[in-house]
Amino acid sequence: MSGIVTLTAAGAIDATYRIGALRRGTFTRADSYTREVSGKGVNVSAALAAGGADTAAVVVLGVDDVRFARCGLTAPLLRIVEVPGATRVNTSIIDADGATTKVNAPTPPLSAEAWDATIHTIRAELAARTAPWLVLSGSLPELAGTGRLVDLCAVRATAREHGARLAVDTSGAALDAVLADPAGIDLLTPNADELSAAVGRPLLTLGDVVTAAREIIARGVVTVLASLGADGLLAVTADRAVFARADAPYVANTAGAGDAALAGFLLGLTRAPAATAAGEDPLIVAAASAAEWGAHAVAHASTIVAGPPHGIRASVETAPDLVRALTPEGEA
């Protein structure tokens, strides 16, 4: 059985408040409040499941919140690694204009025993699947008492052991660690800011993004899926660049859009044999699917999408205008 296993080494509880207006330093009563188990890998698996894929979400959660996690909509997907205490809480505040203010709790360190248990759980899930994907999503914790991030070599070795293709969606110090030795990564999914930081220069046009992505590809990555926010996304390989963009019916919550886009891309790739047989280009199918799922996600009030996109169609360019300017930050 093929499938997609996601890893969230720093699980979270997502708390989402909807308010009329956010005014700094004042009391505000929320109009509504939701709470759900999250973390980027959980979000990806939820979208994959909504798209009909076989998926499991390996996630590290505090034991205080395991009962809550097992009662949620994503419970059947979760493969929980329990650690002492409570799970960190990430907070989104969404105002009446649809703007999202997000505050994420710091990532707690992980013991060596918990990391070993996490790798063991990944190994078990990959072993149950043929030619799977392993998706490493979200921030990485430090190994307790070392001041260093958990060892990614164990993740890569486990993927290789089971013939799994490896996708990585992370940022900050974890992304720096990945980029220091990215050989063997099949899919890397930075946003424009992360890609800019990786190459050490601003990215102002689509051409700038393609050039930066190919610098990463030259280090050993197969495909870079660059998220450009409201501008769309670019799927870049060593010799191709496909641009895709889709309009959301409305904007309810931008948190989780990148996770849904990654899920959409992987869902598109799972249709590659059928697409090829039908004379379609798998990279085009995957890029379009990513844009549609991303647009679908922003129309959801929560970070977990409940079903596949309907009525959203991406526009795709196989020869994008490389001099097209990106929208400046804050003007989307």
> Is residue 325 in some structural domain?
no
In angstroms, the CA 232 to CA 314 distance is 9
The mean pLDDT value for 174-185 works out to: 89
> Is residue 188 in some structural domain?
yes
- Ranges 26-40, 191-205, 318-332: which has the least confidence: 318-332
In angstroms, the CA 311 to CA 298 distance is 14
Q: Which residue has the tokens 């013939």?
A: 163
> Is residue 267 in some structural domain?
yes
> Is residue 201 in some structural domain?
yes
Question: What sign results for the dihedral spanned by CA atoms 103, 231, 303, 19?
Answer: positive
pLDDT for 253 equals: 63
Tokens of 24: 């700094």
> Is residue 324 in some structural domain?
no
The mean pLDDT value for 109-124 works out to: 97
pLDDT for 331 equals: 52
Q: With CA atoms as reference, report the closest residue to 245 among 223, 269, 261.
A: 261
Predicted confidence (pLDDT) per residue in 197-238, tens digit: 999 999 999 999 999 999 999 999 999 999 998 899 999 999
pLDDT for 193 equals: 94
User: Cα dist. 75→267, 278, 305 in Å?
Assistant: 21, 36, 14
pTM: 0.91
> Is residue 328 in some structural domain?
no
Residue 190 belongs to what domain range?
Answer: 4-317
Active-site residue flag, 259: yes
> Is residue 56 in some structural domain?
yes
CATH number of the domain at 32, please.
Answer: 3.40.1190.20
Across the chain, what does the average pLDDT equal? 91
> Is residue 254 in some structural domain?
yes
Predicted confidence (pLDDT) per residue in 14-36, tens digit: 998 999 999 989 999 999 998 99
Look at residue 219 and give its three-state secondary structure.
coil
**148 — alpha (psi -120 to 50), left (phi > 0) or beta?**
beta
Per-residue pLDDT band for 252 (boundaries 50, 70, 90) equals: low
Catalytic position from the list 14, 65, 169, 259: 259
Look at residue 110 and give its three-state secondary structure.
strand
313 contact partners, CB below 8 Å, separation of at least 6: 246, 292
Predicted confidence (pLDDT) per residue in 259-310, tens digit: 999 999 999 998 767 766 677 799 999 999 999 999 988 767 666 777 788 8
332 pLDDT higher than 80: no
Phi and psi dihedrals of 100, rounded to 5? -110, 125
What domain count does the chain have?
Answer: 1
11 contact partners, CB below 8 Å, separation of at least 6: 37, 38, 39, 42, 59, 60, 61, 87, 88
